[in-house]
Amino acid sequence: MKSYFFTTDWRYYRKYLIGGLLTLPVFGIGLPFLLYTYLQLRNATYQISAKEVIHGKLSIPYDSITRVRITEFTVLKNGNIASVIVESGARTITLKGIRDATKVQHIIETAVEAIRREASDKGSREPAANLRQAGQLEQLNDLVGLWQQGLLTDEEYQKENSKLKNY
């Protein structure tokens, strides 16, 4: 599966744009509305990758997604713009103002079903090996993080990495 990138459609924030433009001549009151709209549009980039849904630094892996739903706004229904809400046990990502939201929902649900089907097929065969491999991946991620922060030298990193791979 390839990665998909989405941004918020500007029409999602049109009430703030209109309010800001109409109240701008009145002592600059509309400036906060325009600034809010600009910041929201600039920071609204969403990615659907092969393994997870990502918004900024927040991500939800497909295997932990519990529900995907769409919320539509009555003004925007005919524009086919809606928000897609991706929920897991503890986290929620709201993909705001997505054009063709039903297609995005279908992409996410298809990926979740594929991951769950693959996990159930693998899970019945090798549960102990999967747990051991998952623990090694977490330790390797921690090791790489320490190395990137400069807390480990290259030699220490290579030594610990070889220990993990031989385990």
Give 66-77 pLDDT, tens digit per residue.
Answer: 899 988 764 455
The reply to whether 34 and 24 lie within a common domain is yes
Place of tokens 């990193």: 157
Is pLDDT larger for residue 40 or for residue 123?
Answer: 40
The reply to whether 97 and 149 lie within a common domain is no
The reply to whether 85 and 136 lie within a common domain is no
The reply to whether 135 and 151 lie within a common domain is yes
Task: State the pLDDT at residue 80.
Answer: 73
Tally of structural domains, the chain: 2
Report the candidate in 55, 117, 120 with the shortest Cα–Cα distance to residue 91: 55
Query: Could you list the residue range(s) of the whole structural domain that residue 147 is in?
Result: 126-167
The reply to whether 63 and 11 lie within a common domain is yes
The reply to whether 23 and 83 lie within a common domain is yes
The reply to whether 16 and 90 lie within a common domain is yes
Q: CB under 8 Å to 34, separation ≥6 — which residues?
A: 16, 17, 20, 21, 24
CA-to-CA dists, residue 92 to 14, 59, 81, 139, angstroms: 24, 9, 19, 26
In contact, 77 and 97? CB cutoff 8 Å: no
The DSSP call for residue 29 is T
The reply to whether 95 and 70 lie within a common domain is yes
The reply to whether 149 and 114 lie within a common domain is no
The reply to whether 20 and 40 lie within a common domain is yes
Q: Tell me: the pLDDT tens digits for 14-68?
A: 777 778 877 877 777 878 878 887 887 777 788 888 778 887 788 888 888 889 9
The reply to whether 110 and 141 lie within a common domain is no
Q: Mean pLDDT lowest for which of 37-46, 61-70, 103-112, 124-133?
A: 124-133
Query: What mean pLDDT is reported for the chain?
Result: 77
Q: CB under 8 Å to 3, separation ≥6 — which residues?
A: 47, 48, 49, 50
The reply to whether 16 and 65 lie within a common domain is yes
The CA distance from 71 to 64, in Å, is 21
Task: State the pLDDT at residue 135.
Answer: 63
